[in-house]
Structure 1
Amino acid sequence: MYTIPGHHHISMLTKNAQMNNRFYQKVLGLRRVKKTVNQDNPSMYHLFYGDLTGSAGTELTFFEMPMAGRTIRGTNAITQIGLLVPSFESLEYWKKRFELLDIKHGEITTYAGRDALHFEDTEGLRMILLNNNGEETPEYWSAWEDSIVEQKHRILGMGTVEITVRYLARTARTLKDMLGYVEVVRSENEAIFQSVAGQAFGEIVLKQQEGPSEKPGRGSIHHLAIRVKNEEELRYWDEMVKERGFYSSGIVDRYYFQSLYFRDSNGILFEMATDGPGFTADSTVNALGKELDLPPFLEGKRAEIEAKLTPID
């Protein structure tokens, strides 16, 4: 049986690509590694931020939807994103930075057993900076040296992801029985699962909450993508998804990686995505994220696509 080596990326909705671009580069200090479009709806931007090359496990991605309303929070949704920083001192650095830049944030506290600092972006997306405390990170994560954030406090990559559901046992079964996550903590209404023992870069906090489902809007989380090494493994997981009785999208070629999508019985959308070929498939490392990149099947429509997009820095 194959195992899940951690998170791949996580995708959100933004109402304003320019504002989003400014926050994730100028406030969080991430690199924009790909400026492209939603392949299923090329009239909207799809922006990717991460480390030097947008390595799997560092990617935050956003679909621009100018008509997006506000998110009405509820259950059956992916509700918070953890981002790893090197140390407790990093949390203190970020708290001061958020105060200076007037970013909504809380006090330094704990979350899933780690020192933590909760904050929100300009559209209410909930995130948590987590103290990685010098622990192992994937060896291929590579720092972007041109970040405006001090080297010793830069965001490393994705950490714990929180999912809130009406029926905890249902998603727990998907994570454990199908995907092979290990349950490491359990209380009455919460459980923590890890795909890599002891590591936050493959960790999911599952919370049970009754009530209406979340109504997505700006700042809501669309799906969580988890890592699959290659297409052979992806075909294996496609069969596992179907055996569990879930609908599988089948393998979809996203050019920068290959994927499949499924919803669990609480309606949570998961993507499984391969490590490669990566964002340098059509760009040099130095040029990543600077121009509008399109997969080959959309290249012939470039003029039409660009005409519908508002330019961003």
Structure 2
Amino acid sequence: MYKIPGHHHISMITKNASENNHFYRKILGLRRAKVTVNQDDPSMYHLFFGDRTGSPGTELSFFEIPMVGRTHRGTNAITRIGLLVPTVDSLLYWQQRLEDFGVQTSHFTKFANHTSILFEDPEGLRLALIVSNGAKVEHWETWEKSEVPEEHQIQGMGAVEITVRRLDKLANTLTEIFGYVEVSRTEEEAIFQSVEGELFGEIVVKYLDGESERPGRGSIHHLAIRVKNDEELEYWDQQVRARGFHSSGIVDRFYFKSLYFRESNGILFEIATDGPGFTADGDNIETLGEKLVLPPFLENRRAEIEAILKPIEEY
């Protein structure tokens, strides 16, 4: 049986691409690895931030929807993203850095049993910085032009928190279909790892009754988990269908192939291949993310698309 090696990317909604770009590039020091569009609706930007190459496991992606309203928080939603930093000294660095930029942070706390600080981006997206103790994504690469020193750079995604009414339903999906290992459990929370002992595939499932979240700016649209290649993706498509879930079928996103399904609480998961990656369109490693790039099937609509999109301001 195939194993899920960890997270691939996670996708959110932003109201303003310029402000979003400033926070994740300038404040968090991530590389903007790709500026493209939502392939299902090319009137909106799709931005990817991550390490030097935007490699799987490091990618935070955002769809810009200028007319979107605020998020009404609730249950049955992905509710916090953990980001890995190397050491406790890194947390101290980040507390000061975020404070210097006017971002409030918590004191040192525990998130998913890891030493962390909690904070939100300008649109209310809930984030955590987690001490990794060396548990970075194996192919993470330093971004040498980051405004954050190498020894404190964010090294990919760690624990992702999902809040649901039916904890056991999601637990069964993770363990019985995908082979996640349950590493801790209380009445209110369970922690799962795709690779036991590793933070970069960790999912924290919290129980919460009440109304479902109504998504808006700063909400999380879906979590994508990694598979190595097309063969593995086809295998997981069969497994999802055999379990009775509706699969989107395999979709070619050009930079990777993927499928989508909703588990029993309505949480949207994507399963995505590692490759071919963000250089598949001929974009050079040195200039990744510097201009709008379209997949080949949208290139003939470039003039139309560029006329709709508002230029991203750098500040």
TM normalised by structure 2 equals 0.98
Correspondence list, 1:128-139, <5 A: 128-135=128-135, 137-139=136-138
Give runs of aligned pairs for residues 146-295 of structure 1, distance below 5 A: 146-282=145-281, 283-295=283-295
Q: What's the C-alpha RMSD, in Å, of the aligned pairs? A: 0.7
The residue type equivalent to 2:116 in the other structure is: A
Q: Distance in 2 between matches of 1:262 and 1:139?
A: 27
Report the AA paired with residue 219 of structure 2.
S
Output one character per residue of 1:31-80: Cα deviation in whole Å (capped at 9) or x when no partner. Answer: 00000000000000000000000000000000000011110000000000
Say if 2:292 is the partner of 1:297: no
Q: Note the alpha carbon deviations across 1:114-159, whole angstroms, 9 max, x for none.
A: 1100010000000000001233x33311111110011111101100
Q: Deviations over 1:203-257 (max 9, x none)?
A: 0000010000000000000000000100000000000000010000000000000
* Matched residue, 2:90: 90
1:108 offset after TM fit, Å? 1.2
Counterpart code for 1:178:
I
Measure the CA separation in 1 of the matches of 2:245 and 2:308. Answer: 36
- For 2:241 and 2:221, locate their aligned partners in 1 and report how far apart those are by CA, in whole Å: 22
Q: In structure 1, how many angstroms separate the alpha carbons of the residues matched to 2:89 and 2:287?
A: 33
CA distance in 2, matches of 1:109, 1:76: 24
Q: Does 1:26 align with 2:21?
A: no
SS in 2 for 1:91: helix
Aligned partners of 2:137, 2:78: CA distance in 1, in Å? Answer: 23
Amino acid at match of 1:102: G
2:13 is matched with: 13
1:109 Cα deviation (Å)?
1.1
What is the aligned partner in structure 2 of residue 116 from structure 1? 116
Q: Is the 8 A contact 2:10 2:60 kept in 1?
A: yes
2:47 aligned partner: 47
Alignment gaps of 5+ in structure 2: none
Q: How far apart, in 2, do the equivalents of 1:269 and 1:300 lie? A: 31
**Structure 1, residues 1-55: CA drift from partner, whole Å, max 9, x if none?**
1110000000000000000000000000000000000000000000000000000
For residue 216 of structure 1, what is the amino acid of its counterpart? P
Do 1:104 and 1:121's aligned partners in 2 also have CA atoms closer than 8 Å?
no
Amino acid at match of 2:288: L
Per the normalisation by structure 1, the TM-score is 0.99
Q: Which runs of 4+ in 1 moved over 3 A?
A: none
Amino acid at match of 2:126: R
Match of 2:306 in 1: 306
CA distance in 2: counterparts of 1:72 and 1:105, whole angstroms: 22
Please say if residues 82 and 160 of structure 2, whose CA atoms lie closer than 8 Å, have aligned partners that are also in contact: yes
Per-residue deviation, 1:112 = 1.5
Question: Residue 289 of structure 1 aligns to which amino acid in structure 2?
Answer: G
Assess if the C-alpha contact under 8 Å between 2:109 and 2:117 holds in 1. Answer: yes
**Structure 2: how far apart are the matches of 1:108 and 1:71?**
26
- Tell me, in whole angstroms, the C-alpha distance in 2 between the residues paired with 1:139 and 1:89: 21
Q: How does 1:63-78 map to 2 (within 5 A)?
A: 63-78=63-78
Counterpart code for 1:308: I
Q: C-alpha displacement at 1:104, in angstroms?
A: 2.5
Mapped contact 2:170–2:265 kept (Cα < 8 A): yes
Tell whether the 8 Å contact from 2:137 to 2:156 is kept in structure 1 after alignment: no
